[in-house]
Amino acid sequence: MTYINKQWVLKQRPTTTVDSGDLSLQSTPVPPLQDGEVLVRNVYLSLDPTNRVWMSDREQYLPPVELGSVMRGSTLGVVEESRSERFAPGDVVFPGDSGWQLYSVSHESRTGRVRQADGVPLSAYMSVLGSTGLTAYFGLLDICDPKPGETLVVSAAAGAVGSVVGQIAKIKGARVIGIAGGPAKCKWLVDDLGFDAAIDYRDDDVGEALDRLCPDGIDMNFENVGGPIMDAVFSRLRLNGRMALCGLISGYNEEGPMPGPTDFGRILMKRLTIRGFIVIDYFGRAREAMADLSQWVAQGKIRWKDHIVEGLENAPSALDRLFTGDHDGKLMVALSDVPGKG
Amino acid sequence: MTYINKQWVLKQRPTTTVDSGDLSLQSTPVPPLQDGEVLVRNVYLSLDPTNRVWMSDREQYLPPVELGSVMRGSTLGVVEESRSERFAPGDVVFPGDSGWQLYSVSHESRTGRVRQADGVPLSAYMSVLGSTGLTAYFGLLDICDPKPGETLVVSAAAGAVGSVVGQIAKIKGARVIGIAGGPAKCKWLVDDLGFDAAIDYRDDDVGEALDRLCPDGIDMNFENVGGPIMDAVFSRLRLNGRMALCGLISGYNEEGPMPGPTDFGRILMKRLTIRGFIVIDYFGRAREAMADLSQWVAQGKIRWKDHIVEGLENAPSALDRLFTGDHDGKLMVALSDVPGKG
């Protein structure tokens, strides 16, 4: 059987938000499998702010996606055909060679098995039990290192990463303030996730709200946004404060360097630690995080939301939701039917 | 016997370089000792860039020196009179209540004994075996954490801290590039201290020189200066690079916040760690550093220079040498005669 793949190919580099002409949807037959390879029908495609960075020819942590290549992206799928002894049709996997496409051909050595727990939807393995969960776990515990009673401020707090960061920090006994856009997200953080407070950056003066909520300063900043929001938090970091720099989404749609806090001298005077990280650095320790995260999910200590957009054709327009905030939970695209368990 | 103290008192806050009207030299009798106190005749007064910060009413790590108070500063001196059972006349000490003054009255609980080694001049306990040595030791080893073969760039490399940083890094097997002002200092770094290379920021294009000397990027930056020199180093920090932020002297003579590197996003993309520190945080671990530093000094593995200006009256004008670079080694003021040993 010949499979016809559909793939989003990067045609030109966007300079602001992604435009409809920047990518092109192309059809191409899937090549025949070689020994050790599996053919994966992708079910979910993860959309993450970092995807936008990959489209730009700027300094970054992976090479930019080359013009004319399939857009890079993480997927989860089901094995349709296998020339590997390690995988059989029906297995649910993370293919190594993923991307914005319906099918992936993936060598067994680069294919990871998904072991779905009872009662957990498959989409969770793209969010709380996937890369964004790992991002939250290691960035918070490895860099912020929360102590009971310390105060954490997390930006993009209702996002896939931020919402999990805040809940893990609560489990560790910290006081948690989230910054999010709009009253519904703020209410969710406090009422459903147990954040101590939430600041609506669209409606509140973030600096004033932080002064009110954190009169003794801030111990930890899990930073996803950058720009003036980061500056408001940074300028209130107290002695021995830590910032886990996870993202700077406010700068991703612009060309040029991403600016830092106004008063860099505070790092010296307050003996702050600022550390950037990328979740791929922690893939080797994923098991460690998954053990805790799976338990917390099973115990109902961590809640999450997945925002699923239907259809590969909608991937480029859906990506922009990450920048406007017009999404509710981990953003992903459903590419094909979810396989039945069993 | 009544001792007449001379003290520099802060009259007004300088807004640029320290002006002759900013401090006033006053005479006042030393009050009688209380039980547990010692009277210390100060021999050396340390001049450090941070002194300038203390004069300003800006965010900092200690309260600014109050107007009308004796200027804060570290001294080393000899006990003249004692009402403590722990100290006798002739003992060489770091008094707790030091400052820019001829005499200090210091409670025994805040007085530290100096144990001078044979062949080591007393001034060394104000430099390589004093606070600047500790600063170099902990900032480098605790924050930069050099591994053999890694590349370190240190700014203000011929200064009291920077010169020791570079030599410790060499002991630890790193490759060391110093940035200093003028050919004599650069020659000293390479020929006498064993730095691998030195960049004369007054004559060289720092960025070009770094590109030439560090084609694979920089692993560690021990930063004393800030401004464009820091930016040149920062923008070449490579994956998992570390910056120990020890000082930002380029901003101390100006009002307002001290700016950071142009491309803050590099912290994220290259997973950098930026950590500020102040040597006082490490005083509790001083013994650990002193054991190593004393041994390295005795073995001739660490060399240093002390730049001694005579006379308390010259302290304010001497301080400016730190900002112009017109000094050769650890800057201090000799306030009175060095006691004979034994």
Cα separation of A333 and A47, whole Å? 7
Beta carbons of B3 and B103 less than 8 angstroms apart: yes
Cβ neighbours for A204, distance < 8 A, ≥ 6 positions apart: none
Output phi, psi for B266, to 5 deg: -60, -30
Q: Is the same domain home to A272 and A135?
A: yes
Please judge whether B261 and A265 are an interchain contact, meaning their C-beta atoms are less than 8 angstroms apart: no
Beta carbons of A276 and A139 less than 8 angstroms apart: no
Instruction: Specify burial of residue A262 (Cβ count, 10 A radius: 0-12, 13-18, 19+).
Output: middle
Which residues does chain B have within 8 Å of residue A246's beta carbon, measured at their own beta carbons? 268
Q: Is the same domain home to A150 and A162?
A: yes
In a domain, A341, yes or no: no
Residue A324 has a pLDDT of: 93
Domain total for chain A? 2
Q: What rounded mean pLDDT belongs to chain A?
A: 96
B266 close to A (CB below 8 A): yes
- Distance (Å) from the alpha carbon of A254 to chain B's nearest alpha carbon: 12
A263 close to B (CB below 8 A): yes
Please judge whether A257 and B263 are an interchain contact, meaning their C-beta atoms are less than 8 angstroms apart: yes
Distance of CA A34 to the CA centre of its chain: 32
In a domain, A285, yes or no: no
The mean pLDDT of A321-340, rounded to a whole number, is 94
Half-sphere exposure for B91 (CA within 13 Å, toward CB):
20
A245's tokens? 């720099």
Cα separation of A62 and A67, whole Å? 15
Distance of CA B213 to the CA centre of its chain: 27
Q: Is the same domain home to A66 and A118?
A: yes
Residue B306 has a pLDDT of: 97
A241 close to B (CB below 8 A): no
Cα separation of B37 and B82, whole Å? 6
Please judge whether B259 and A264 are an interchain contact, meaning their C-beta atoms are less than 8 angstroms apart: yes
Output phi, psi for B141, to 5 deg: -80, -35
In a domain, B342, yes or no: no
Domain containing A68 equals: 4-127+305-334
Count of H helices and E strands in chain A?
10, 15
Is the pLDDT reported for residue B340 higher than 80?
no
The mean pLDDT of A174-182, rounded to a whole number, is 97
Residue A250 has a pLDDT of: 92
Alpha helices per DSSP H over chain A: 49-54, 131-138, 160-171, 183-187, 206-213, 227-234, 265-269, 286-298, 315-319, 321-324
Is the pLDDT reported for residue A104 higher than 70?
yes
Exposure string of B269-293, with b = 16+ CB inside 10 Å and e = fewer, is bbbbbbbbbbbeebeeebeebbebb
Residue B97 has a pLDDT of: 84
Q: What is the DSSP letter of B191?
A: I
In a domain, B297, yes or no: no
CATH number at residue A181: 3.40.50.720
In a domain, A342, yes or no: no
Cα separation of A95 and A28, whole Å? 19
Q: Is the same domain home to A8 and A101?
A: yes
Q: Is the same domain home to B117 and B140?
A: no
In a domain, A326, yes or no: yes
B257 close to A (CB below 8 A): yes
Q: Is the same domain home to B183 and B274?
A: yes
Which residues does chain B have within 8 Å of residue A60's beta carbon, measured at their own beta carbons? 269
Q: Is the same domain home to A135 and A275?
A: yes
Alpha helices per DSSP H over chain B: 49-55, 131-138, 160-171, 183-187, 206-213, 227-234, 265-269, 286-298, 315-319, 321-324
Classified as helix, coil or strand, B137 is: helix
Residue A256 has a pLDDT of: 87
Please judge whether A268 and B248 are an interchain contact, meaning their C-beta atoms are less than 8 angstroms apart: yes
Bridge partner residues of A238 (DSSP): none
Task: Give the other-Cβ count within 10 Å of B342's Cβ.
Answer: 4
Tens digit of pLDDT for each residue in B213-238? 999 999 999 999 999 999 999 999 99
Q: Is the same domain home to A141 and A226?
A: yes
B228 close to A (CB below 8 A): no
Is the pLDDT reported for residue A341 higher than 80?
no
Alpha helices per DSSP H over B108-254: 131-138, 160-171, 183-187, 206-213, 227-234
Task: Give the other-Cβ count within 10 Å of B244's Cβ.
Answer: 27
Is the pLDDT reported for residue B207 higher than 50?
yes
Tens digit of pLDDT for each residue in A28-73? 999 999 999 999 999 999 999 999 999 999 989 999 999 999 999 9
Beta carbons of B38 and B95 less than 8 angstroms apart: yes
- Distance (Å) from the alpha carbon of A252 to chain B's nearest alpha carbon: 10
Q: Is the same domain home to B208 and B83?
A: no
Cα separation of B217 and A71, whole Å? 29
B144 close to A (CB below 8 A): no
Tens digit of pLDDT for each residue in A248-282? 999 998 888 998 999 999 999 999 999 999 999 99
Instruction: Annotate A165-207 with DSSP letters as a single string.
Output: HHHHHHHTT-EEEEEESSHHHHHIIIIIT--SEEEETTTS-HH
Tens digit of pLDDT for each residue in A107-116? 999 999 999 9
Which residues does chain A have within 8 Å of residue B283's beta carbon, measured at their own beta carbons? none
Is the pLDDT reported for residue A2 higher than 90?
no
Beta carbons of B115 and B76 less than 8 angstroms apart: no
A269 close to B (CB below 8 A): yes
Which residues does chain A have within 8 Å of residue B275's beta carbon, measured at their own beta carbons? 267, 271-274
The mean pLDDT of B125-134, rounded to a whole number, is 97
- Give me the residue from B246, B248, B277 closest to A265, CB to CB: B248
Distance of CA B247 to the CA centre of its chain: 9
Output phi, psi for A286, to 5 deg: -60, -35
Task: Determine the residue type at B124.
Answer: A
Cα separation of A10 and A132, whole Å? 24
Q: Nearest-CA neighbor of B169 among B186, B189, B148?
A: B148
In a domain, A293, yes or no: no
Which residues does chain A have within 8 Å of residue B257's beta carbon, measured at their own beta carbons? 262-265
Beta carbons of B145 and B228 less than 8 angstroms apart: no
Q: Is the same domain home to B160 and B63?
A: no
Q: What rounded mean pLDDT belongs to chain B?
A: 96
In a domain, B293, yes or no: no
- Distance (Å) from the alpha carbon of B237 to chain A's nearest alpha carbon: 12
- Distance (Å) from the alpha carbon of B247 to chain A's nearest alpha carbon: 7
Bridge partner residues of B106 (DSSP): B38
Please judge whether A266 and B226 are an interchain contact, meaning their C-beta atoms are less than 8 angstroms apart: no
pTM, entire model: 0.94
Across A25-29, A80-84, B248-252, least confident range = B248-252
Q: Which residue of B has its CA nearest to A245?
A: B268
Sign of CA dihedral B38, B42, B48, B53: positive
- Distance (Å) from the alpha carbon of A84 to chain B's nearest alpha carbon: 35
Residue B287 has a pLDDT of: 93
Beta carbons of B82 and B105 less than 8 angstroms apart: no
Cα separation of A87 and A103, whole Å? 16
A283 close to B (CB below 8 A): no
Is the pLDDT reported for residue B26 higher than 70?
yes
Instruction: Specify burial of residue A29 (Cβ count, 10 A radius: 0-12, 13-18, 19+).
Output: exposed
Task: Determine the residue type at B43.
Answer: V
Residue B179 has a pLDDT of: 98
Cα separation of B47 and B123, whole Å? 13
CATH number at residue B98: 3.90.180.10
The mean pLDDT of B85-108, rounded to a whole number, is 96
The mean pLDDT of B133-157, rounded to a whole number, is 98
Classified as helix, coil or strand, B136 is: helix
Residue A214 has a pLDDT of: 98
Which residues does chain B have within 8 Å of residue A262's beta carbon, measured at their own beta carbons? 257, 259
Cα separation of A50 and A56, whole Å? 10
**Residue B342: band (very low, low, confident or very high) from pLDDT cuts 50, 70, 90:** very low
Is the pLDDT reported for residue B9 higher than 70?
yes
**Residue A314: band (very low, low, confident or very high) from pLDDT cuts 50, 70, 90:** very high
Q: Is the same domain home to A314 and A184?
A: no
Residue A342 has a pLDDT of: 41
Is the pLDDT reported for residue A79 higher than 90?
yes
Q: Which residue of B has its CA nearest to A262?
A: B259
Cα separation of B207 and A260, whole Å? 21
Cβ neighbours for A118, distance < 8 A, ≥ 6 positions apart: none
- Give me the residue from B259, B267, B269 closest to A274, CB to CB: B267
A93 close to B (CB below 8 A): no
Residue A200 has a pLDDT of: 98
Task: Determine the residue type at B139.
Answer: G
Q: Is the same domain home to B156 and B266?
A: yes
Residue B6 has a pLDDT of: 98
Q: Which residue of A has its CA nearest to B259?
A: A264
Tens digit of pLDDT for each residue in B34-56? 999 999 999 999 999 999 999 99
Residue B256 has a pLDDT of: 87
A323 close to B (CB below 8 A): no
A336's tokens? 């094909």
Tens digit of pLDDT for each residue in B285-323? 999 999 999 999 999 999 999 999 999 999 999 999 999
Cα separation of B115 and B122, whole Å? 10
